[in-house]
Structure 1
Amino acid sequence: MKKTEEGVDKKSAAQAFKEWWRSQPSTDLYVFSDGSEQSLDNSRQVGYGFIVYQGNKQLASFSAALSPMSHVFDAEALCLDNTSVIWGIRGSAAASSNWAYNRCHELLRQHNVGLKWAPGHMGIEGNEEADRLAKRAVSSTAAPAYGLEATPTVSGVRTVAKQLSQETRRKWWSGACGKLSDWYRGWSFSRPTVEYQVKAPPELTMPRHALHRWLALRSSHGDFSWYHRRFQHADARLTCVCGHNKSPEHLVLCRHSQRHFLHWPKRPAARPHNRATAVAYLGSLTPTDFVELLDCTQFYTRYCTR
């Protein structure tokens, strides 16, 4: 079985399925199924439904809820409505709802059961009825889950673990961020949604010389006049060749740098003219943009040298 009907649109696939169903023996049984996941009163609700036909005659139908700590993938493992689930049933059992996969494997070994994909929401009677049943299973009037269906699944537990991890990280960062200097926190004002991330930031892909400048700008610890004065670096050069004191934002305020903006495709619409506009512009640059800006202006190699 193919995961999808390659080169066939859903309308044509639906018509082909209807013709296939009409051509099948009227004594065979056909089961249409669906799963559903919705949010109800800020709580995730998951359920499934199926309907059984003999030929084109309805014989039975059923719908039920699953544990709120599950996902629609689990509902579709119980009631096949997903090509990835079908492949899981035909191959190795997935970790989530493993017991349902194993029962299907046993059923396939004992009986002559075939699996066939039908495109959803295309007017196929069995599909539409199964969809209605699945939606009823997640309504407020649905009966609660029971047995194995009431137990949390791997996918549901993973979601909860991810949410707890994110919430813990958010709370930690909220406390830690308040202890940072006003200067450092000011760099994220142009991107207020910036949060602490565990994964390696893209800045680490920059060459070391550029990363050094990037970190110095954000920490304000580096070849800057205030820094040299504070630590009494008597031999340090405190000014740029333009005569202004060295500062983190001077990279884009220096008249020598701004002359190079003519050759800088990502130059600001209006040239930075004070600390606030300079920080706003520098804070909007990606690591790649920042490296290109250094190369374009040659600020630290020609004008603001140590």
Structure 2
Amino acid sequence: MFLFTDGSRLSNADAVAGAGWYGHWGAWKQESACGHLCLPKHEVFDAEATAAYEGLKAAFDSAQAPYTQNVYILLDNQEVAQQLQGSPRGSSQHTILAFQEAANAWPTRSLRCQAIQPGQVHVQWIPGHAGIAGNEQADEQAKKGARSTPQTNTPPARYGWAHRTLKEEFWRRFQAFWAENAPQQYQDLSIGLDKQPHELSLPRATLGRLLAAWSGHGDFAQYHERFGHEDTKLECSCGRPKTPHHFYYCWKGHKASPQPWGSRQVDEILRSKSGTRDLHEWLQRSHFYRTICSAH
């Protein structure tokens, strides 16, 4: 018996998952098991694991079970396939252990015809969306499950769902906190939050200069005066005080290398991806902080 299993999750606010399975038997591919399940507060991983377990239970109850030697569980999630055959970790551990217990019980099933060898349950990964008919059937069942009405005795929330929900809630609250409590320098530059900040791709030296310009903590006259640094140089070699934005206005910097930002204002240079990239390239050409506005 070949049993295809799959999981799916809606992309709406509820993010309900669905488990689906489809099995066929014999050379003529007679349908032997088909079904789906609605799984609120589950991730796709959890739905995949549940589909494998519920599909195997359906194989036990199928009319072909007494005449079936081996059951082949075919799914397109490599991580679930590995955990079904090994030590479960993370989410859905109880479901995976229940699957393994059921798989171990297959050879000793009570309804097996005496002429049929005990057989085994085999788990095999297959590529998804590759035109495999059984996989497409299981995928359709999983989507039906996600769109269907949950049962009254729905399984409890899974760890994977709780973990994702907690991360999303933390991010939402952090964004609200930042909107109210961001330092004034960051507010003036309209620097928000990004899970993958583009500036982290900058070389370390440029990133340091950028963060100093954002925060005002660096080799700047006001910073040195604030903390009483007496052995520091407060002016650029051009004669003007060092400030976070001085690189933008320094005439010696202009002379050393034409600045590439055209009509863009300094705040756009410091916050936009193209601006920070141009800043890095200009610093490399002009050697601004090494020869023109150095610390010593």
Give the TM-score taking structure 2 as reference length: 0.68
Measure, in 1, the Cα distance between the counterparts of 2:225 and 2:281.
31
Q: Please, which moves more after superposition, 114-123 or 46-55?
A: 114-123
SS of match in other structure, 2:11: strand
1:134 correspondence with 2:175: no
SS of match in other structure, 1:43: coil
Measure, in 1, the Cα distance between the counterparts of 2:5 and 2:241.
72
Q: Is the 8 A contact 2:200 2:207 kept in 1?
A: no
Q: Is the 8 A contact 1:77 1:101 kept in 2?
A: yes
Q: Which residue number in structure 2 is paired with residue 159 of structure 1? A: 164
Q: Which residue number in structure 2 is paired with residue 251 of structure 1? A: 247
Give the partner amino acid of 1:254.
C
- In structure 2, relative to structure 1, the CA distance for the partners of 1:226 and 1:77 (3 Å cut) is closer
Q: Is the 8 A contact 1:202 1:287 kept in 2?
A: no
Provide, for residues 88-110 of structure 1, a one-character-per-residue CA deviation record: whole Å limited to 9, x for no partner.
11111132111211112112322
Provide, for residues 157-203 of structure 1, a one-character-per-residue CA deviation record: whole Å limited to 9, x for no partner.
101111121122112111102xx33x44233x3xx5x3177x9x949
Task: Identify which of structures 1 and 2 has the higher relative contact order when contacts are C-alpha pairs closer than 8 Å and 6+ apart.
Answer: 2
Measure, in 1, the Cα distance between the counterparts of 2:37 and 2:223.
67
SS of match in other structure, 2:41: coil
Which of 101, 104, 107 pairs up with 1:106? 101
1:172 correspondence with 2:177: yes
1:44 correspondence with 2:44: no
SS of match in other structure, 2:269: helix
Measure, in 2, the Cα distance between the counterparts of 1:228 and 1:126.
70
Work out the percentage of aligned pairs sharing the same amino acid: 29
Measure, in 1, the Cα distance between the counterparts of 2:30 and 2:89.
33
Q: Which residue number in structure 2 is paired with residue 144 of structure 1? A: 150
Measure, in 2, the Cα distance between the counterparts of 1:32 and 1:225.
69
- In structure 2, relative to structure 1, the CA distance for the partners of 1:172 and 1:146 (3 Å cut) is same
SS of match in other structure, 1:47: strand
Aligned counterparts, 1:1-306, within 5 A: 29-40=1-12, 42-55=13-26, 56-66=29-39, 68-80=40-52, 81=75, 82-111=77-106, 112-139=120-147, 142-145=148-151, 147=153, 150-177=155-182, 180-181=183-184, 183-187=185-189, 189=190, 194-195=192-193, 202=200, 206=204, 211=208, 214=210, 216-220=212-216, 240-261=236-257, 267-270=259-262, 277-284=265-272, 294=283, 296-300=285-289, 302-304=291-293
Q: Please, which moves more after superposition, 53-62 or 290-299?
A: 290-299
Give the partner amino acid of 1:71.
E
Give the TM-score taking structure 1 as reference length: 0.66
- In structure 2, relative to structure 1, the CA distance for the partners of 1:154 and 1:297 (3 Å cut) is same
**Cα shift at 1:235:** 10
- In structure 2, relative to structure 1, the CA distance for the partners of 1:221 and 1:107 (3 Å cut) is closer
Q: Is the 8 A contact 1:65 1:138 kept in 2?
A: yes
Q: Please, which moves more after superposition, 154-163 or 119-128?
A: 119-128
Measure, in 2, the Cα distance between the counterparts of 1:210 and 1:85.
40
**Cα shift at 1:284:** 4.3
Q: Is the 8 A contact 2:210 2:270 kept in 1?
A: no
Measure, in 2, the Cα distance between the counterparts of 1:103 and 1:232.
68
How many residue pairs are counted as aligned between the two chains?
Answer: 255
Give the partner amino acid of 2:92.
S
Q: Which residue number in structure 2 is paired with residue 9 of structure 1? A: none
Q: Please, which moves more after superposition, 120-129 or 106-115?
A: 120-129
**Cα shift at 1:70:** 1.0
Q: Is the 8 A contact 2:21 2:34 kept in 1?
A: yes
**Cα shift at 1:260:** 2.2
Q: Which residue number in structure 2 is paired with residue 11 of structure 1? A: none
Measure, in 2, the Cα distance between the counterparts of 1:156 and 1:255.
56
